[in-house]
Each structure stands twice: as structure tokens, then as C-alpha cells.
Structure 1
Amino acid sequence: MRSLVIDIGNTGVKYGIFEEDAITAQGYFKEQEGLPQVLTSQTFDHAIVASVSGELESIKAGLSVSGSILELSAQTALPVSNDYKSPETLGADRIAAAVGAHYFFPERNCLVIDAGTAITYDFINAAGHYQGGGIAPGIHMKFKALHTFTGRLPLVQEIKAEFPLIGQTTQESLESGVLAGTLAEVEGIIRAYRRKTERLLVILCGGDAGFFESTLKDPIFVIPELVLIGLHRILKHNV
């Protein structure tokens, strides 16, 4: 079975093409650019489309799918239990990442940290119950906020794995404040989850995962395609 998975995020669209359970191609594009040729030039057996922005129709209209196109919503059947109190407000990427984590580690408590536009923390226990987590501003969002809501602070666009703790220029001070602060935040949340939960695995994904992979001292697993794989598991559960 050839399946297509599409994840519409805050800043762009990620896709993955699956042959049975193996991801054979993946990519990224801006929604205003339209579907890339690799997606419009072939027919898929089934597809799943998930969005945090709600804009789905234009992308769905451009696909050729012989079977069903599943639109992920709060009513979609899941291969895990969703204990979130307001499932209709839960981001599709968050539940998909939790599904992916439980697929890889079905007998472990998992904390998924998705480091993108926002940094999300999502916990699913060894019994397959998704319980929720947290949402915080991502690194680029913090840099942008400091630039936008002040009069003279420049916009920092590059995320450096090595940065000074004691900034001696405004640029360095911004890097220290945002990067060291975000790193301390993530490390502190991991410690809090470890105190609360036995045999915890920490799984990292998202566009800024590379920064945390090189700077976090805590042992972690990095699975860049975690959300796409989780969406594929949800699709398989429904077809």
C-alpha cells in the first residue's frame, strides 16, 4: 500500500510517502507554493492530512488518491487512548507525535519534545494513554518577540550550538538569554518528568531538534520523522 501523509504546520507543510510501513520519500514546502510535482504526478492508495491551521481543502483538492483521504480531527479513531480534557483543541501534530512514540516504544513512558515554531511537550504512558503536556514559545518565536516588542533589539536568525553564557555584545546577550534560557527550560522540564515518572524515555523531533541534540546533557532519542510516522500509524488504524 502506498500512502501519503501531509502535516500542515504553522510555517510550512511536511509530507511523507510510505510504501507499506517504510517511509520512502519526504519533503517540505510552503503552502503558497502549491503541491510539489512529486505529489501531483502519482496516485496514492490512501492519504491522511493533518493541520494546525485548518487550511486543508486546497491541498486535498490537488491530490490523486484512489482510496480515502482521512482528515485528522478529534473524532478520528486512534491506536492509543486520548485522555486530553479538550481533544477538539489538541494540535494534530501533538497527538501524532505521541502515537509515533508509542509505536516505537510501546512499553515505555515517553515524553516527546517537538522543537519547532512552538516547543511542545507531550506525555504518553506505557499503557498507551496520551495524557497531555505543555506548550511554550520556540526559539525563533522568542527572538522575533524580542525584536518586535522592543525599540532597538536586533532580530537574531541563526541558532548556534555554541554561544556565550555571558554576552558581551547585544547580539551575544540575546543569544545567551534565549538559547541558554530555553535550554535550561527544557532540561528543567525533563527533570520534572523524570521525578514524576519511572522509566521515562525522552524523544526529540522538530525543526530545531538538532540544537537540542547537540546541547542537552540528558540522554534522548532523536526521531526527525516522528510526526509523519505517527500520522501514518493513525491512517493504518483507519483503513
Structure 2
Amino acid sequence: MSNHISDRNESILKRLIFHKSLLNELNMFFEEIASNGKYLQDPQIKSLDNIFRATQRLEKSCLDNQIDPLLTKLFENIAKCICSPSFIEIFIHSTTQENDNVGQRFPLHACTDYIHSHSADQQHKQCLLDIRRSLDRPFSQWLTQQSSSFPLWNHRMAAILRQLCFILTLSIQLNRYINLNKETFDYYCHLIESFVNILYSIIQIENTIHNKLALSLMGTLTSNLYTMTLSIQLEKYIKNK
């Protein structure tokens, strides 16, 4: 659906996708996932990916004052899914597998993609802070433990890492002038340590230019290190590395 949006059908699709009944159903769907992980084992969940992509494209063509409050609620409920214990469990479990399934791809990719598409919206600052509070500890701990084994990662792992790194630094972009508390600062410092260690190791790899995984990781880590310099506290820490 998202690949077929054009000027000719945009208004029709907006009426269809932004219909109150559909948005209410989507919000209830995400409330269920956030509270108990319901539907994640349903193979039909992949059909929502197309709706999400279409919603993202259609929302971008709306003025801020045209966004339905139900869409704001949708963002909040998707953020709650990412903050839920089931999301952390899915992430940890996924990192031990060769392949992920649709129930894992949906929260790890579809939900995080939706958050990314709204990353510059000031109205979502609190949701991004909530996501950070939920993910910074388990993710920084995991990365600290696993960073030395990055040469064994596959491209799926690199993609998941990219999603979570970007989603954890979004809050810095919108809250750059707010001081981080000690706990949050320490978690980011752990991330920086892991990023730097991986980058130093990549530099030692021969023919890095032909190593697609290494190049992908370099792109992810360097761009997120830059984002973290938007925090004065983290900028000082990085300069001392």
C-alpha cells in the first residue's frame, strides 16, 4: 500500500487509514501488546507493517495542526510497546538466534521505524525519555558484554543494533540542554566505551573497505557518537576518550 501512494489517491487513503474506527483498533492492539505481548505470535501481524509505512508517509504530508489526536495516542502506545518487558525479552532472545521471526521483527523493526519517522516532533519528547529510561540499562549491559564478539555478528544483528542505538539517542536531540542524571549519564558512558572499543577493533581489520558488516557498524556508531556530543556532559566525556 505504501508504495502506491500518489497525489491522485492520497486524500482517499487518508480517509481510509486515518478513520477513527481503524485508529481505535490499532490503539487497542498496541495496548494489548504493551501489557501482555498479545498478538506477537500471530503470523498475521506482518500485515500491519504495510499500514505503518502508509501511515508514516501520509502523516508527513499533514500539517501539525491536522494530525488527529488518535495518531498522537498511536505514537504513545507504540512507545509503550518498546518500553514493555516483552520488547527487552524479544531483543535479548533475538540476539541468540540465526534468524528472527515475524513476531520479533515487528517490534524490533516496524515499531522502532515508526518512532524514528517522528523523531523531530517536540510533542513526543516525553515518550522518547520513557523509551530511554526503559532501554538504556539492559541495552548498555548487553553491549558491554557482547562488544568484543562483534566480528561474529551477522547483518541482522547489525540492523537491530542500529535501530536501538538511534532510538536511544533520539531523546538527546530533543533534550540537548537538559542535564542527564548520574544514572543515565553512566549508561551512556558505557555505550560510548563499547562504541569506541568496537571502532578501534574495526580499524585493525584488514581490507575494512570490503567488509560490509564493519562499514555498517562504523556508520551506526560514528553517527550516534556525534548525536551524543549534543549533550554537553557527553561531549566532554567523549573528548577525553
TM range (shorter): under 0.3
Q: Tell me the TM-score normalised to structure 2 length.
A: 0.27
The structure that is helix-richer by fraction is 2
Q: Tell me the TM-score normalised to structure 1 length.
A: 0.28
